[in-house]
Chains A and B, each alone.
Chain A
Amino acid sequence: MRLEPINNPTLARKLVPPALALASTVVIASLLAMVAGANPFSVIGLILKGAFGSKFAILETLNRATPLIFTGLAVAVAFRAKFWNIGAEAQLYAGALVTVLLGTGFLPWSSFAILPLIIVASIIVGAVVLLVPALLKTRFGVDEVVTTLLFNFIFLLFISMLLEGVLKDPMGMGWPKSARLIPEARLPRIVEGLRLHWGFGLAILSAVGIWIIQTRSTLGYEMRAVGLNKEAAAFAGIPVNVVIVKTALLSGGLAALAGFSEVAGLKGSLTLDLSPGFGYTGIIVAMLALLNPLAVVVAALFVAGIFVGADSMSRAADVPTYLADIMLATALLLMVLAIMLTRFRVVRD
C-alpha cells in the first residue's frame, strides 16, 4: 500500500475519520467496561454525568482542566517547532517549587505584589529547567526526547529530597510536605462561593496569548518554519538554534505555570503527588488539539472530563479508573491516524 496526498479534501473527508476515531474509542471503552462486569451501554453515560452532570462536577472538571491547559500549551508550543519536550512534568514541579519557596511567608507582601512576583519567577525557573535540554540539543546534538524524559525522574527525586529535608513542614506530622502558602500567595476564586480559582482564568489568557504569538508575531512564524523544515528555515536566514531555545523557554515557562496554579489555586502546599502525570497528559491534550492553542482549551476540558467522569463512573460501576487512561491513549492513537487520513488516501499497489 501507498499514501497519496488529497488535493481538495471534501467536507466528508475532513469530518468522517475523526468522528470514526472518537466513536471507536467509545466502543472500545464500552467493551472493556463490559469485561470488567459493567453494563457497556451505561458506561459512557456515567462518565459524561460524572464530568458534566452537576454544578459540582463541572467545577471539578474545570479545575482538573486548568493544569492540563498549561501543560497542553507547553507541549503544543514545543511540538509546533518539532522540539520534543516530554519534560513538562519536571517544569511543572519547578513552578510549584518556586511557588512554595516564595509564598510561604518570608515575603510578607500583599497579594498584588506577591502573586505577580511568583508568576514571573515560576515562568523563569520553568524556562531554565527546559533550557538545559534545549542547549544540549543545540550545542551537542543530544536528543531532547531522552533528556527531557530523564529530567522528569531527576527533578522528582530532587523535590522529594527537598520535601524530606529543608522544605519539610515541621507541622506536617512527618509527611513529606511543604509548609502551607500564606493567604496572600493563594489565587483567589473567580466567583465567591464557587470552587474555581483564577488559575483557570490565567490558563485561558495564556492560551489566547500563545495564539496571538503563533499567528501574529515573527517568533510564531519562525517557530512554525523551523518545525516544518529546518534546512529551509536556515536557508531563509532564520537562526534555527535561537528559535529552538526561545521555544523551549516559552514551553518551560508555560508548564511551570501549571505547577504554580495547582499549588496557589488548589492545594496550598507542595507534595510529591501534586501532579498525577499532568505533564505527560499535556502531550495528549496538545495532540488532540492539533497543536492549536485555542483548541488546547477544548481538548483539556475533554481530557479532564474523562478523568473526572471516570472517577465517578468507577465508584458507580466498579470499573477500574485506569479505563480513563486507556480511553485517552486509544483516542490519541486513533486521532493521529484519523487526521492523517483526512489528508492522504491509502492506495493499493
Chain B
Amino acid sequence: MEIIEILFTASFWAAAIRIASPLIFATLGELICERAGVLNLGIEGIMVAGAFAGWMAVYSGTGLWTGVCVAMVVGMLFGLLHSTLTVPFGLSQHVVGLGVTLLATSSTYYAYRLALPEVTSPPKIEAFQPFEIPILSDIPLLGPALFSQTPLTYLAFVLVGVVSMVLYRTPLGLAVRAAGENPAAVAAQGLSVTAIRMGAVMVGSGLMAVGGAFLTMSAFDSFFFEMVNGRGWICIALVVFGSWRPGKALLGAVLFAAFDALQIRVQQTSLGTLIPYQIFLMMPYILSIFALILMSRRAEVPAALMVPFNKGER
C-alpha cells in the first residue's frame, strides 16, 4: 500500500526525472555512436571525466554553463581518441572502449589528486538550482515533477527531440544512420564514412561527458570517486532497450529512473527494513538485464554495428 502512495507523490516523480537526466544525456550519446556503427564502451570513463572536468572548471571560477562546455570538450577529446583507433584503424571496439574507460577514469583520478592533494572531503560548488517554469510548474503532481527541475534536465529533454529530428529529418542524420547500416552505400555516394563515424563518436562522447557533469553540477555539488558507479553500462543497456530510437530510449531512461527512485523510497518503509539494502541496490542492474532479454528478440540492431569499414575492401 505504501508503494502505491509513493507513486502518487510529486517528489517521487521529481526524483525520477532527476535520476533520469544523466542517463538521458549518456544514452543519447551512446545511441549516436551506435547508430553510426561504433560501440563506445568508453562511456563509463568518459562520464567520470565529464563529471570531474565540469565540476573542476566551476570550482576554479568559471560559470556553470562554461563548466558544461568544458565537460563536453573533454568528452569529445576522448571520443576523438576512441574513434581514431576504432574507425580509420579499425581496432577492436571492445578493447579500445574498455581501454578508453580505464584511461579516462585513471587520468581523472590522477588529475583530482594533483589538483586537490590535501583534501579529505571534496569541496562543494554552487550547483545548478531548480528553475520553476511559470504557470506550468503550478500544475498539480506534473508541475513539481516536470517543471521545477534544473536547467540541465530541461536541456536533456530538449536534446531528445533535437537528436531525433536530426537523425530522421536531415541529410546529416540520414548519413549517420546509413554509416551504421550500409557504409559501402555511403562511400558510393562520395561521402566519407570515416568522417561521419568519427564525428558521431565525438558528439556522442561529448554528450556522455555532459551526462557525467550532471552528477557533479546538478544532482550533487561535488566530485566523488566511484560516483558514476556503472551508470554508463546501464546506458548501453538502455540503448538496446530503446531499439536505437531516441524517443524509446527516453522512455526507457525514465522508467528505469522511476524504478530506481522507487527502490530508494521503499527502503525507508516498513517493508524495506526487512530486506537487506543490497537487494534494493541490485535491482537497477537486474532490471537492465531483464530489459535486455525482453528486447533482444525485437531489437533492430544497426547492421554495421562493430563492423569496421575499410575503403576498397570487398
Contact = CB atoms under 8 A, between A and B. Distances in A.
B170 interface: no
A158 B282 contact: yes
Interface string B92-134: 1011101110110111011001100000000000000000000
A264 to B, nearest CB: 25
Interface in A147-169: 147, 149-151, 153-154, 157-158, 160-161, 164-165
Contact of B288 (A140, A145, A146, A161): A146
Contacts, number: 128
Interface stretch (B173-181, B247-255, B257-265, B290-298): B290-298
A53 B113 CA distance: 27
A332 B311 contact: no
A146 B85 contact: no
A319 B5 CA distance: 53
B282 A154 contact: yes
A150 B282 CA distance: 9
B100 to A, nearest CB: 7
Interface stretch (B57-65, B155-163, B202-210, B273-281): B273-281
A336 B41 contact: no
B102, B233, B299 pick with most chain A CB within 10 angstroms: B102
B293 A140 contact: yes
Interface string A14-28: 000000000000000
A284 B101 CA distance: 12
A265 to B, nearest CB: 26
A150 B102 contact: no
B276 A325 contact: no
B190 interface: no
A329 B49 CA distance: 15
Nearest to A2: B311
Contact of A326 (B107, B282, B289, B312): B107
A86, A160, A320, A330 pick with most chain B CB within 10 angstroms: A320
A118 B41 CA distance: 35
Given A2-B310, A84-B94, A165-B276, A146 B99 contact: no
Contacts of A325: 102, 105-106, 109
Nearest to A163: B278
B113 A3 contact: no
Contacts of A146: 233, 236-237, 240, 288-289, 292
A146 B285 CA distance: 10
B267 to A, nearest CB: 13
Contact of B92 (A140, A164, A336): A336
Interface in A291-349: 320, 322-323, 325-326, 328-330, 332-333, 336-337, 340, 349
A145 B310 contact: no
Contacts of A145: 41, 94, 236
B95 A287 contact: yes
Contact of A142 (B89, B106, B292): B292
Given A143-B240, A336-B85, A329 B99 contact: yes
A142 B293 contact: yes
A158 B89 contact: no
Contacts of B98: 86, 280, 283
A2 B103 contact: no
B109 A322 contact: yes
A337 B85 contact: yes
A172 B301 CA distance: 50
Nearest to B311: A2
A113 interface: no
A328 B114 CA distance: 19
A328 B106 CA distance: 10
Contacts of B237: 146, 150
A36 interface: yes
A329 B106 contact: yes
Contacts of B166: none
Contacts of A120: none
A348 B100 CA distance: 27
A157 B282 contact: yes
A86 B95 CA distance: 10
Given A146-B292, A153-B285, A164-B276, A280 B110 contact: no
Contacts of B100: 329, 333
A149 B282 CA distance: 13
Contacts of A36: 110, 114
B89 to A, nearest CB: 6
B233 A280 contact: no
Contacts of B285: 150-151, 153-154
Contacts of A149: 230, 233
A325 to B, nearest CB: 3
Interface string B76-94: 0000010001001111101
Contacts of B89: 3, 337, 340
Interface in B180-204: 194
B256 to A, nearest CB: 12
Nearest to A150: B285
Given A150-B285, A153-B230, A326-B107, A280 B236 contact: no
Interface of B: 41, 81, 85, 88-92, 94-96, 98-100, 102-103, 105-107, 109-110, 113-114, 194, 229-230, 233-234, 236-237, 240, 276, 278-279, 281-282, 285-286, 288-289, 292-293, 296-297, 299, 310-312
Given A143-B292, A154-B282, A328-B102, 6 more contacts: A146-B292, A150-B237, A151-B285, A161-B276, A322-B107, A340-B90
User: What are the 6 A-B residue pairs with the smallest beta carbon separation, nearest first?
Assistant: A325-B106, A329-B103, A320-B113, A161-B278, A329-B102, A322-B110
10 contacts: A2-B310, A36-B114, A142-B292, A142-B293, A145-B41, A153-B229, A154-B286, A322-B107, A337-B89, A340-B90
